[in-house]
Amino acid sequence: MIYKRMLHLATIALIGLSSVSLQADQTRPNILFVMSDDHTSQAIGAYGGRLQSLNPTPTIDQLAKEGMLMENAFCNNSICTPSRASIMTGQYSAVNGVITLREPLQPKNHYLAIEMKKAGYTTAVVGKWHLKVRPSTFDYYKVVPEQGKYINPEFFEGTYGDTKGTLVKMEGHSSDCITDSALAWLKGRDQTKPFFLKYHFKAPHDRFVYAPRYESYLADVHIPEPASLYERGNHGSIATRGHNDELIHKIGTSIGRRHERRNYIRAWANDPNLSDDEAKSMAYQEYLKRYLRCVKGVDDNLKRVIDYLKKEGLYDNTVIIYTGDQGFYLGEHDYMDKRWCYEEGMRMPLIICYPKAIEKGSRADAIVENVDYAPTMLDFAGVKTLEYMQGRSFKSILETGVEPKGWKQSAYYHYWMHMSSHANPAHIAIRTKRYKLIMFYGTLWFRGADTPSTPPGWELYDLKTDPKEMNNLYDNPEYASVVAELKIELKELRAKYKEDDPQILINKVINDYWDYDEEDRANAIAISNAMKKEVYTKKKKSKKKGK
């Protein structure tokens, strides 16, 4: 394989060099960026919550003890490809052009890799890439095609400038294979330079195929269930529930039987003799155990890499960043997957350890977004934030725990993939440290974009009094001034991030329903009534190649 050839050539090149020249550049830290797919903060012990007692992530928790845990890290578009594009570019989706799962991030826009290489780092990415084109801007890559396989995964392997790569196959579970590959690169890298490694797991992405050795893990344990799995309260709006709850079977895929097209009952609790709650609980238990077994595999494999860094004397001079590409729903509100901008989907886990500069066991509640990740990593590498990046480095927050003057006080969110896969309506949102204001505009971005197909609606949550987002306060007159202020700020953010262009057709609907007067509400009810009558018909898969 390519990494074996690299190791051989590196060994030859090092023969005869002095011991001084063998030392890597110690003036700047190595950077290890670890990202799992769909690993949510509520499944990390250090973040607390109902799963903490299960001790699912001892390795990641130890990183938090030795570094800083960010309490308010957010994704601006909670779906794999757009989030990864924002991390690579430091730009919001509307600017980098990756708004859905469809758009590629072209090599010329792989800004983080390009700038790290220019800064003198040896660079690599291993694991799940999911940005359509090969990451040929890295010195070395070994990435799975699209989502990749959990068992016996295939990889495209290549070096800088190789836009095709060589297809190679490994035996075993993807988390093990990805870690084997990361360790192989670390051992064979150019040791005269600091390294930048993006180490990306496929796990714990849905389907949750875990390594066989974890079959007994949690087998006899009852996983704590969120109250909102059964009680919805005043969560949601006409946009997510329909008029008088008439759309709850059509919007938002579910754990229980609620959603007519996609839920976990069919796979794991398909017994007609079970009540709805009994079936839901059975499906939830299977869902969580499979998910957490995948998480366990991630945590155990991460320990292998950290042990290597410590053994080789690299740990103290390495910035280790652990995150997920977005959050994920573990039964909250009877939802699965991500996409929604509620806390479980919008929040990203973010733990950063760097013994030389970050205080052990520290926490920060500063609002940071995935567009800020690239500027921060580049800052550690000694590179100033590039003008084309919309994000901002939070390195000083990591080092001091203090927000610099003028630091952002809100996060922006935009989910574009209207009613795709998991039946989530398109929406925009603003999230401050206390409030979250959401507008569901209910239409596609590319077809029929000036007409809603699901009812538009607004939601407001007071996260200080209602951290689980169980009570939509949008129509509460006591919060009218809060709504007005947040709408002004939301409009300003949309202009700042170049999302308010009238040529973007969805903006007609957003503008039409911005004030949400009585006429708007009546129109939303009419849309809801019409949608209720629609009958779901399963599409037949084409047997034609490429369809």
Give pLDDT tens digits for 167-215: 999 999 999 999 999 999 999 999 999 999 999 999 999 989 999 999 9
Segment 76-97 mean pLDDT: 96
CA gap 253, 258 in Å, rounded: 8
What is the per-residue pLDDT for 270?
84
Q: How many CB atoms lie within 10 A of CB 80?
A: 20
What is the per-residue pLDDT for 396?
98
Q: How many CB atoms lie within 10 A of CB 246?
A: 17
Q: What is the pTM of this model?
A: 0.93
Q: How many CB atoms lie within 10 A of CB 16?
A: 7
Closest to 184 (Cα-Cα) out of 398, 3, 400, 412: 3
Segment 45-56 mean pLDDT: 96
Query: Do residues 27 and 14 touch, judged by C-beta distance below 8 A?
Result: no
What is the per-residue pLDDT for 537?
63
* 280 Cβ contact list (under 8 Å, min separation 6): 229, 230, 255, 256, 257, 265, 269, 334
Average pLDDT, the chain: 93
Sheet holding 350-353, edge to edge: 166-169, 154-159, 140-144, 122-128, 195-200, 30-36, 318-324, 350-353, 68-74, 362-369
CA gap 342, 232 in Å, rounded: 13
CA gap 441, 456 in Å, rounded: 5
Give per-residue pLDDT as tens, 265-291: 887 888 899 999 999 999 999 999 999
Query: Strand 140-144 to strand 410-415: parallel, antiparallel, or no bridges (unpaired)?
Result: unpaired
> Is 521 a residue whose pLDDT tops 50?
yes
Q: How confident is the model at residue 450 (pLDDT cuts 50, 70, 90)?
A: confident
Query: Do residues 253 and 337 touch, judged by C-beta distance below 8 A?
Result: yes
Q: How confident is the model at residue 545 (pLDDT cuts 50, 70, 90)?
A: very low
* 435 Cβ contact list (under 8 Å, min separation 6): 460, 461, 462, 463, 482, 486
Q: Which two tokens stand for residue 116?
A: 């790290």
Q: How confident is the model at residue 454 (pLDDT cuts 50, 70, 90)?
A: very high
Segment 400-420 mean pLDDT: 97
* 466 Cβ contact list (under 8 Å, min separation 6): 473
CA gap 405, 383 in Å, rounded: 21
Q: How confident is the model at residue 1 (pLDDT cuts 50, 70, 90)?
A: very low
Closest to 391 (Cα-Cα) out of 425, 413, 368, 414: 368
Burial class (CB in 10 A: 0-12, 13-18, 19+), 445: middle
* Distance linking the first and last C-alpha atoms of the chain: 33
Segment 148-177 mean pLDDT: 98
What is the per-residue pLDDT for 220?
96
